[in-house]
Homo-oligomer: A and B are copies of this chain.
């Protein structure tokens, strides 16, 4: 499917530690579980040690040497181990580095994993200066609320549309045993949860939580039958973009400034030699319900302003023309920062392998994953089978 003669990169193993709350487990233990599962899935056993030539670990809050502790417990060290932080896109950044190194001929097999154990409630981000905290300007969900309000104003959306996103994703999460919330909801029920920050109600926001995900990449052969990683792209915000992703800085009119998600998507489509119309299934960043709807247009999945129609049509639901967040999204799974991007990849590999069980998107051949977060990092990954 590529347009150039690039070294192919296969996803030969996936592993997941469920996302949720696990009081008695350390972040290292969750990482070990996910990495073990991915190595097992890849057919790398203890006779093949370490079994990969480099490892990238995405995490934001796990402290120094986080990846080393996981691989130390597994006796798989010695190679370069790099811990990578790119906010919500940390796992996407790790994947990008791993894929690039394989395409460069530097390594044959690379382990990529991500993990997080977030404190309960609102994340105390190290992003903000102390004076902004003191003055009340470090009010993270308020930034999400302002972004949601803007999207509603500019695209003619209502709170009911936001609630419909939650209903859609939670209806998928019911089918995902690895999700934190596995129950249906309704528009009325979502709107009945308390207001966190107008226009966002509690169930329109994902919960920071805990979990881990891992992926093993290998230089591909022509006929491995494995899922192929066509593109793994990371981009950051352009100078001047305001509220692109909760930036607390003042800014200028951004109507002519391309958002980082679009920069990443355009580069990924070009690398994979496809367009958004070729994508069969999507996992996209739904930190809040409006963030998902913004993502649809930033990724070229819909014309700006077409979100309400698509929601009504059911096209983005399981069984629809192109399901979005079949895993249930972060709204069902919660968001363990460093693990979330790779959790999406695990879901999409399952979809492409046709092993997604009750939430299988039938005939899925092309899949796209998207994250965007703090520092306005955006990652877009494209997989095919």
Contacts and interface: CB of A to CB of B under 8 A. Distances in A.
A78 interface: yes
B80 A236 contact: yes
Contacts of A79: 235-236
A106 B105 CA distance: 12
A282 interface: no
Given A68-B237, A81-B86, 19 more contacts: A26-B129, A64-B87, A64-B127, A65-B377, A67-B375, A72-B239, A77-B239, A78-B235, A78-B237, A78-B239, A79-B235, A80-B96, A80-B236, A82-B84, A83-B85, A85-B85, A97-B97, A100-B101, A101-B104
A149 B377 CA distance: 46
Interface string A85-122: 11100000100110011011110000000000000000
B81 A236 contact: yes
Interface string A51-77: 000000000101111111101100111
Interface in A211-255: 233-239, 249
A331 B239 CA distance: 39
Contacts of A126: 62-64
Nearest to A50: B239
B127 A78 contact: no
A79 B258 CA distance: 12
A77 B234 contact: no
A125 B82 CA distance: 18
A93 B80 contact: yes
A157 interface: no
A21 interface: no
A376 B66 CA distance: 12
B238 A77 contact: yes
Contacts of A353: none
Interface residues of A, number: 52
Copies of this chain held together in the complex? 2
B235 A68 contact: no
A374 interface: yes
Interface of A: 26, 60, 62-69, 71-72, 75-87, 93, 96-97, 100-101, 103-106, 125-127, 129, 233-239, 249, 260, 263, 374-377
Nearest to A263: B78
Contacts of A125: 63-64
Contact of A236 (B71, B84, B237): B71
A9 to B, nearest CB: 12
B85 A238 contact: no
Given A64-B60, A101-B100, A239-B75, A83 B84 contact: yes
Contacts of A84: 82-85
A82 B93 contact: yes
Contacts of A239: 72, 75-78
Nearest to A378: B80
Given A72-B249, A100-B104, A104-B104, A65 B87 contact: yes
B377 A68 contact: yes
A356 B130 CA distance: 39
* Among A64, A81, A85, A97: residue with most chain B CB under 10 A: A64
A77 B237 contact: yes
Contacts of A105: 104
